[in-house]
Amino acid sequence: MRDHPFRAIRSTVPALAACALAATLVAAGATPASAAADTERPTTPGPITVVAVDTTSVELTWAASTDNVGVVRYPVGVRFEDFGAQYSTDTNSIRITGLRPSRTYTFFVSAVDAAGNRSLNDPSLRLTMPPGDDQPPGAPGQPVAYDVAATLLWLRWAHSVENVALDRYEVFRVDAGGTLTRVSEVYQYPPGRNSTQISGLTPNTTYTFVVQARDEAGHLSPLSEPVTVTTLPPPPTCTVRSVVRQWPDGLAAHLVVRNTGSTAIDGWTMRWRFYAGQQLRSLWGAEVVDRDSSYLRVRDAGYNALIPAGGTVSLGFVATGSQAPEEVTVNGGVCVVADE
């Protein structure tokens, strides 16, 4: 007996519904039982080929992967130096925009099936974008030195004017005879930074620095105007002897600081531990500079600014609380607590 045509058609309905349901589950991000049972990876996509490229975009294609169930997407990665982005396409081609002229990017592609299996040994392509810049940047502003210490300092400068995009600033030390020695590079990823620390310097020494800008096409700006700065002398060595008298609501402290170095200290700033809850009632032999939640900073009173090598300076204060002077420094040098 032959099957009735209608019966044959009806028998295919559940199968068609199951396929539609599986497709719906995959599209919605769910994993049907058939996909869950799939452990086979897709084949590696073919080599990446450039279809079209301009200064800010590229169109890529590759030979499609095969899979026992089916490839559902191709993740595409883009990397420039330490920065990257991730894209995805359900075909074997993609157009990526928002790139920068003259930069060298590396592109990666892989294949993923409905069960999440990913291909192995995926291809990559290294591509330098066409140049889109034929003008050098303007000269950076003259650098300004700040936070100058004995062995380091900071420089900042006004940004260069650039028609496309800056790559970095290069900071040079100007040596004898005008020789330039690069001492720092300030990359513009992300853009905006225009300062740097210069370390490893010699105390009490005069230096000259200039800054130059480089754009992404490799063009160099003129050098900035130079800045000349002298590092501070090395921090002095010192000892501190303190006599503290406590009473129920405060204390009086007398400090004797000795310069134990071989050179005189001509002008000094002193700092010691002074908690937020304390209130300074009086001070002699020094003037208050500032205070924060943990320290009090004072400077010489003028008449006692010079502390000869081996000499001493005395000062004192009255304050609330019970915190005696600790962690005493003079011009950044930590004073050793002297034995009584």
* Residue 271 to residue 257: CA distance in whole angstroms: 12
- Residues 6 or more apart from 244 whose CB is under 8 A from it? 251, 252, 253, 254, 324, 325
Q: Residue 48: its pLDDT value, please?
A: 97
Residue 257 vs residue 216, higher pLDDT: 257
Q: What is the DSSP letter of 118?
A: B
- Specify whether the CB–CB gap between 141 and 184 falls below 8 A: no
* Residue 171 to residue 198: CA distance in whole angstroms: 9
Measured in degrees and rounded to the nearest 5, phi and psi for residue 5 equal -55, -40
Strand partners, 184: 171
Mean pLDDT of 159-163: 92
Give burial (CB, 10 Å; 0-12/13-18/19+) of 151: middle
Residue 221 vs residue 292, higher pLDDT: 221
Say how many C-beta atoms besides its own lie within 10 A of residue 54's C-beta.
13
Mean pLDDT of 294-306: 95
Lowest mean pLDDT among 4-18, 83-97, 226-240, 247-261: 4-18
pLDDT at 316 over 60: yes
Which pLDDT tens digit goes with each residue over 18-67?
343 344 334 434 445 455 688 999 999 999 999 999 989 999 999 999 99
How long is the chain? 340
* Residue 100 to residue 331: CA distance in whole angstroms: 49
Mean pLDDT of 80-100: 93
Mean pLDDT of 76-84: 92
Mean pLDDT of 148-152: 91
Say how many C-beta atoms besides its own lie within 10 A of residue 56's C-beta.
15
* Residue 31 to residue 39: CA distance in whole angstroms: 13
Q: In the numeric block, which tokens belong to residue 288?
A: 């208050």
Q: Residue 15: its pLDDT value, please?
A: 38
Residue 285 is which amino acid?
A: G
Residue whose structure tokens are 């002699």? 284
pLDDT band at 338 (very low <50, low <70, confident <90, very high): confident
* Residue 114 to residue 73: CA distance in whole angstroms: 9
Q: What angle do CA 335, 338, 340 make, to 5 degrees?
A: 155
Mean pLDDT of 265-279: 90
Q: Is 5 helix (H, G, I), strand (E, B) or coil?
A: helix
pLDDT at 14 over 80: no
pLDDT at 79 over 60: yes
Nearest CA-CA partner of 169 in 195, 202, 147: 195
Q: Residue 332: its pLDDT value, please?
A: 86
This prediction's pTM: 0.51
pLDDT band at 103 (very low <50, low <70, confident <90, very high): confident
pLDDT band at 1 (very low <50, low <70, confident <90, very high): very low
